[in-house]
Structures are given as structure tokens and as C-alpha cells.
Amino acid sequence: MIVHPSRADSFTESVIREMTRFALAHNAINLAQGFPDFPCPPELKAAASAALNEDFNQYAITWGAQDFRAAIAHKVEAYNGMVLDPEAEITVTCGSTEAMMASMLALITPGDEVIVPEPFYENYGPDAVISGAIPRYVPFGNGESIDEEAWKAAFTKKTRAIIINSPNNPTGKVFTTDELRFIADLCTEHDVIAITDEIYEHILYDGHRHISIGSLPGMEDRTVTIGSLSKTYSVTGWRVGYALAGAGLTGRIRKIHDFLTVGAPAPLQHAAVAALNLPESYYRELARDYDRRRKILYAGLKKAGFDCRLPEGAYYIFTDISGFGMTDVTFARHLIETVGVAAVPGSSFYHEGGETKLRFTFSKKDETLHEACRRLEQLG
């Protein structure tokens, strides 16, 4: 049989999801894939049941149910400092994953360059390739701060977009206002679009604040802001996200979105309004609970011999495993098979390198994390 070349040949399947399957096969504790093992808020379950029973079971408007878009606009103005027209500047998608892919396909022409800071969430590289872009990887500096000279050099006449993720997966870095202003200035100078993944925007620690680059002066019409219900409300299986952009960019994104998925699940869009109407206390408790889990896992990893530090945001700890004498893939499999704990090999987050890293998630119940830490003590 003749097999013609495909752009899919240039990247692998998701390593994160592969680790989940491997963990299930060995009955390991899954600290690889970032989904909670605790329930979502009861208000969301009740709203979802009501939406189903009230027969919101057919297609919603392609770019999103009107009440949900209105709720997003209200939330974004209050929290992110951006004023958006829900009729022309908000697109509801099948999770942030589709929002990113639809945005890339809408904005990129083959041969354009997209800047991807690394380490990066594993989808970003394949997203660039699928959209026909040439990814240009630019590393964080020491301490995951921005190496300004390296970032300046990454922008060329071919650069069409830069992908930003704050709080960052896998490092937990939260971009500062000064860093975002630096990036905004580069985008303005080179006529580049910032595509910013902000799905962990409410999961912050130690006084760090979330700033949306789209709220900075001059970035209103050159930013696509991507959000999702998955992480903030512990509903990763709902697959409800959104892309926010000026009307010109949104018009293109909506066309791609329409032909990719037609629309996100209608009953869950209606239920999502209840999520966005939760009181401010919900977000304080969310950050407080994750801070506690962060410290549980951090203490366990340090005790087991991992070199790591507390993240500023999101719900991952990115560790250095140089001291264990194994590469990331070998060590990840060793952990699953002999210790019973799953993590993600660090090379999944780099275009080259990362073999001395592993990523662990603490989006789990306290008792799950304590048991994982107990198992990791066997490494000693």
C-alpha cells in the first residue's frame, strides 16, 4: 500500500494522554494529565441537568449561545479589563484546544512564522504545523524570566503570531506586567498577533496577579484571548471554551470554528452561565485549595529527591530529574511500573531537549496527593 506523506507525520500523539493510558494499565496514580479527581461545583451539575431537562439539546448559534456570550463579556470586563461586544467579538468553542486551533487556522497562511516560547504546552507545536506555520521556538531565560534579546531576535518579517500562556503550563510562571508590555511592544513594532492561552487565570499563588495582554493599550485589535471552563470549574470533560478578539479577527475565527465543530455542546453552554455567576468567594477558595495541594506535592517531591520549586500559578510542578540518572521517558515509565505514580516526560514540552525534566500535576484530592507522595518515598 502506498502511503502519501502527511503533515501529521511531523509530530507524535499526545504524550500526556499516552501517560494516562499507561497509568491506567498499571493502576498508577495519575499525576500526568491535568484533570481533577474531585467533583465540580454542585451548582454546575444542577444547571447542566436543568439545561438537559429544559431541552437545550439542539444546536446553539454556531459561535455560542447568546446568554453565555453575554456572561463571558461581563466576566471579562470585570476580571480581565477588556470590553468586548458579545455579538461580534466572542466565539464559544469546544474547549480551549479548539479555540487555539481555530485561531491559528484563521490567522496563519502557509509559511508564516509563529513564535512559541518554551517550555510550552505540547499542543502548540502541532497546532503551528497543522496551520501551515513554521514554529520559531524561543526559550525562557534563567528562572523562566524573559531573555529579551533572544525574544527580539525571534521576531522577523515572516512572524505572524506569538503564543503566550500565563499562568504557564508546565512551569507555573506568571507573566509580569512589564514582560507583557515588552511583548506588546514587539507585537506592535512587527505587526504580530498575540494568541494568549489564559485558562489558569484564577489559579494564582503568593500574591501574583493575572494580567491579560489584550487589556494593554494598543493590543485590543492584535490579541486573541483564549479561555475555558475546564480548569477553573473542574469540568475538563465539558469541552467548553472561548476565543476573544476584535471583530475583524473574530469574523475569521468564527468561519474556521463553524467548519471545524459547528458548535460547542448546547446544554453545557447554558449551564456554563451558572459557573460565571459564582460569587467571588469561589475563586478565593479555588486558589486557597490549590495552594494547599501545591505544598503537599512540593514537600513530597523534595523529600523524594526531586529538584523543583513552587509554581507561581496553574497546577503543575516542573521538576529536574538529573540526579536520578535516567532520561525523562525512561524515568516516567519506571515511576509508573515500579512506584505507581504517573508524570509527563519533560521532552513533551520542548522541540528539542527536556530529557532532564518531569511534570507532575496537583489537581487531585489531598488524599490522592498524600498517597502519591508516600509511593514516591520508595525512590529513596
Q: Which tens digits make up the pLDDT trace of 182-230?
A: 999 999 999 999 999 999 999 999 999 999 999 999 999 999 999 999 9
Instruction: Tell me the pLDDT tens digit for each residue of 288-340.
Output: 999 999 999 999 999 999 999 999 999 999 999 999 999 999 999 999 999 99
Would you state the pLDDT for residue 141? Answer: 65
129: amino acid identity, one letter: V
Q: For residue 142, how many other CB atoms are within 10 A of its CB?
A: 7
Instruction: Tell me the pLDDT tens digit for each residue of 4-13.
Output: 777 677 676 7
Mean pLDDT across 274-301 = 97
Q: Please, which residues have CB within 8 angstroms of residue 267's CB and are 6 or more apart in sequence?
A: 48, 51, 52, 56, 57
Instruction: Tell me the pLDDT tens digit for each residue of 67-116.
Output: 999 999 999 999 999 999 999 999 999 999 999 999 999 999 999 999 99
Angle 345-347-349 from CA coordinates, rounded to 5°: 100
Would you state the pLDDT for residue 271? Answer: 95
Length of the chain: 380
Q: What is the grid cell recorded at 283?
A: 475563586
Answer whether residue 1 shows pLDDT above 60: no
Rounded Cα distance, 208 and 249, in Å: 30
Would you state the pLDDT for residue 142? Answer: 58
Q: N- to C-terminal Cα distance for the chain?
A: 51
Q: What percent of the chain has pLDDT over 70?
A: 97
Asked whether the bond before 167 is cis by omega within 30 degrees of 0, the reply is yes
Mean pLDDT across 239-256 = 97
Mean pLDDT across 158-177 = 96
Q: Please, which residues have CB within 8 angstroms of residue 297's CB and are 6 or more apart in sequence?
A: 31, 317, 360, 362, 369, 372, 373
Q: Quick one: which H or E segment has residue 160?
A: strand 159-165
Answer whether residue 2 shows pLDDT above 80: no
Mean pLDDT across 44-57 = 95
Would you state the pLDDT for residue 255? Answer: 97
Mean pLDDT across 233-261 = 96
Rounded Cα distance, 252 and 337, in Å: 47
pLDDT band, residue 143 (cuts 50/70/90): low
Rounded Cα distance, 289 and 23, in Å: 25
Q: Quick one: which H or E segment has residue 137?
A: strand 134-139
Answer whether residue 20 shows pLDDT above 90: no
User: What mean pLDDT is reported for the chain?
Assistant: 94
Indicate if the alpha-carbon torsion angle 303, 309, 312, 316 is positive or negative.
negative
Would you state the pLDDT for residue 15? Answer: 76
Answer whether residue 55 shows pLDDT above 70: yes
Would you state the pLDDT for residue 16? Answer: 75
Rounded Cα distance, 349 and 170, in Å: 7
Q: What percent of the chain has pLDDT over 90?
A: 87
Would you state the pLDDT for residue 10? Answer: 67
- Phi and psi at residue 41, to the nearest 5°: -55, 140
Burial 353-370 (b: 16+ CB within 10 A, else e): ebbbbbbbbbbbeeebbe
The conformation of residue 138, written as its DSSP 8-state character, comes to: E
> Is the distance from CB of 362 to CB of 293 less than 8 angstroms?
yes
Indicate if the alpha-carbon torsion angle 39, 44, 49, 52 is positive or negative.
negative
Judged by DSSP in three states, 157 sits in: coil
